[in-house]
Structure 1
């Protein structure tokens, strides 16, 4: 049986991922978050919950114990610290597969007017995402870093990817698409192994997302 730890389990991408893990796999899920009351009432015996802070070394080590995959979708000024504690715990416990959601433009990879618009709107908030990515890329783990475009709540799975070093494509992508790829990455440990990939919905190029 595959055991998956979901860090930041109350987030919107995580909730989409949890639903898809339950639908598309037989994996057992451990949901790690600071406040269990933020979770819906899941009707599944494949789910357990741990309340804890991802910056807490002991809590993270205990949560990682016995896992096969760690999926992280989290935010905040402490994201670099969270990444470091997760990497340290995984390396210590011999858990290799890490899927970590960050943000577009952490490598200044978004070209043109959309790149400028990103700088103006989210540039000041990207530091912790880049810090987390740098920590993960320096690790020994079998990681995949996801850099989604601006996120929508559309009930669709439609995306394309770009590699690190390639210009970012598109302006938006659904949270469900990010979750769907994350589940696929959990099922196939060789898929996008040790890669940082951009995600966007095809044919959404523009100066900014249409809905902004």
Structure 2
């Protein structure tokens, strides 16, 4: 049996990934949340699920959630108003994974943290996100400076389309499309957790092929609800 700790388990990508992971009978999940409000009864009542409440900025709470896990999937998010909170979250995860002796980490971040998004879309994305990108980059710097077997995922702007359709760009390559479905991101998270030797110490961008442009197709107003959870 493999135990996976999911930090930020109420997130929309995380909830899709949790369902996918529980389809495998040899997976147990520890779900780390602030509240249980958005976890369905089918998740909370599953005998292979343990729910732990706490604050992801608090190292002791993080340690309590990950102790005994084989892998950690961090779906942690901060709003633009509190985007600096992601940095102490990253520090707590790295420090407590070291303390617990856990190596494998899948960390959700954001496109644009390396200034890798070209053209008008890149300028628009940087203008909309501002300090959010600065702080998410600082959090990723913490992860990349660690000795963990991490994979950082940088999704394009997120949609709720019921599809798995994505392409990958590696760190150092220019980002391509403007959007990607949460289901696509969740499917890659699950693949990385089931195959922990894949994309180790890598940072990958995810977008839907053919969605190049100056903005996501669905965009009507600048809303960060379409970002990294």
Q: 1:170 aligns with which of 161, 168, 177?
A: 177
Root-mean-square deviation (Å) = 1.1
How far the C-alpha of 1:40 sits from its partner, in A, is 1.5
Q: What secondary structure is seen at the aligned counterpart in 2 of 1:185?
A: helix
The CA distance in 2 between the partners of 1:69 and 1:62, in whole Å, is 14
The CA distance in 1 between the partners of 2:199 and 2:37, in whole Å, is 34
Q: Please report the TM-score for the alignment, with normalisation by the length of structure 2.
A: 0.90
How far the C-alpha of 1:123 sits from its partner, in A, is 2.3
Match of 1:20 in 2: 20
| Alignment partner of 1:80 is 2:87 | yes
| Alignment partner of 1:127 is 2:134 | yes
Gap regions ≥5 residues in structure 2: 220-229
The CA distance in 1 between the partners of 2:130 and 2:118, in whole Å, is 14
How far the C-alpha of 1:25 sits from its partner, in A, is 5.5
Gap regions ≥5 residues in structure 1: none
Matches within 5 A, 1:81-160: 81-160=88-167
How far the C-alpha of 1:38 sits from its partner, in A, is 2.8
Q: Conserved in 1, the CA contact under 8 Å of 2:179 and 2:207?
A: yes
The CA distance in 2 between the partners of 1:145 and 1:80, in whole Å, is 15
How far the C-alpha of 1:124 sits from its partner, in A, is 2.8
The CA distance in 1 between the partners of 2:102 and 2:25, in whole Å, is 20
Match of 1:5 in 2: 5
How far the C-alpha of 1:127 sits from its partner, in A, is 2.2
Q: Conserved in 1, the CA contact under 8 Å of 2:126 and 2:133?
A: no
Q: 1:51 aligns with which of 50, 53, 58?
A: 53
The CA distance in 2 between the partners of 1:97 and 1:104, in whole Å, is 22
Match of 2:226 in 1: none
Q: Please report the TM-score for the alignment, with normalisation by the length of structure 1.
A: 0.97
The CA distance in 2 between the partners of 1:40 and 1:173, in whole Å, is 24
Q: 1:71 aligns with which of 66, 70, 73?
A: 73
How far the C-alpha of 1:137 sits from its partner, in A, is 0.2
